């Protein structure tokens, strides 16, 4: 599959938080390497994770509003009716699959692959990929745009500002080892 803005991915909560993974996913989407999708359930989970990490209510609202403003067509609506009829190992993940089905997504990007069985997803013409696999495949299909996206991420990085190699180390610490190594090879 060729990645483009027509390539649609539902981002699970565990790839929206932590910030390092989210930032790279969002920059890739900003530069039209794919189209991101999410749901109210996913953002409610994201808010809960941020609360547990002692992020202030104002900062939580700021992050969620920023994401929705940056990608105004990303919010999937009217998927709730599908949830109850879906079967996954963890019933709490059904909302992610329902959003993917509703929006005709190509992939669910999640670091929780065990809860999204391949055969079951295939029956909906969907697949699930880890953030690291998804990002490395995306880089592979458009290295020039991907490296420019990465450089923009570094340029806009605050609190604290980091250089390219520090950001790569941060990506590695957050499970994006192959992605960081690939980007490093392109610098």
pLDDT digits (tens, 9 = 90+) for 43-70: 999 999 999 999 999 999 999 999 999 9
In angstroms, how far is the first alpha carbon of the chain from the final one? 25
The mean pLDDT value of the chain amounts to 94
Question: Residue 157 has what pLDDT?
Answer: 87
- Does residue 1 lie in a domain region? no
User: How many domains does the chain contain in total?
Assistant: 1
Categorize the per-residue pLDDT at 160 as very low, low, confident or very high, splitting at 50, 70 and 90.
confident
pLDDT greater than 50 at residue 144: yes
Determine the Cα–Cα distance for residues 96 and 12; give it in Å rounded to an integer.
Answer: 7
Mean pLDDT of 35-48: 97
- Does residue 33 lie in a domain region? yes
Mean pLDDT of 18-41: 95
Q: What is the CATH number of the domain that holds 179?
A: 3.40.50.1010
Preceding omega of 160 cis (within 30 degrees of 0): yes
DSSP for 113-130, please give it.
GGGS-HHHHHTTT-EEE-
For 177, the token pair is 């080892």
pLDDT digits (tens, 9 = 90+) for 82-138: 999 999 999 999 999 999 999 999 999 999 999 999 999 999 999 999 999 999 999
Domain that holds residue 123: 8-186
pLDDT greater than 70 at residue 2: no
- Does residue 179 lie in a domain region? yes
pLDDT greater than 80 at residue 13: yes
Categorize the per-residue pLDDT at 14 as very low, low, confident or very high, splitting at 50, 70 and 90.
very high
- Does residue 108 lie in a domain region? yes
- Does residue 169 lie in a domain region? yes
Decide: pTM greater than 0.85: yes
- Does residue 2 lie in a domain region? no
Question: Residue 1 has what pLDDT?
Answer: 44
The H-or-E segment that residue 127 falls in is strand 127-129
């Amino acid at each position: 599959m060729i990645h483009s803005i027509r390539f649609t991915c539902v981002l699970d909560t565990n790839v929206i938080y932590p910030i390092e993974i989210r930032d790279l996913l969002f920059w890739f989407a900003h530069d039209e390497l794919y189209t991101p999708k999410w749901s109210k359930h996913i953002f409610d989970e994201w808010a809960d994770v941020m609360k547990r990490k002692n992020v202030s209510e104002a900062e939580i609202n700021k992050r969620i509003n920023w994401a929705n403003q940056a990608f105004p067509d990303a919010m999937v609506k009217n998927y709730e009716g599908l949830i109850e009829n879906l079967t996954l190992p963890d019933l709490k993940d059904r909302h992610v699959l329902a959003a993917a089905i509703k929006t005709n997504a190509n992939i669910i990007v999640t670091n929780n692959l065990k809860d999204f069985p391949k055969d079951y997803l295939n029956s909906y013409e969907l697949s699930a990929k880890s953030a690291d696999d998804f990002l490395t495949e995306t880089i592979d299909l458009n290295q020039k745009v991907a490296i420019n996206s990465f450089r923009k991420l570094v340029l806009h990085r605050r609190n604290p500002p980091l250089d390219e190699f520090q950001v790569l180390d941060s990506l590695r610490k957050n499970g994006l080892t192959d992605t960081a190594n690939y980007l490093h090879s392109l610098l």
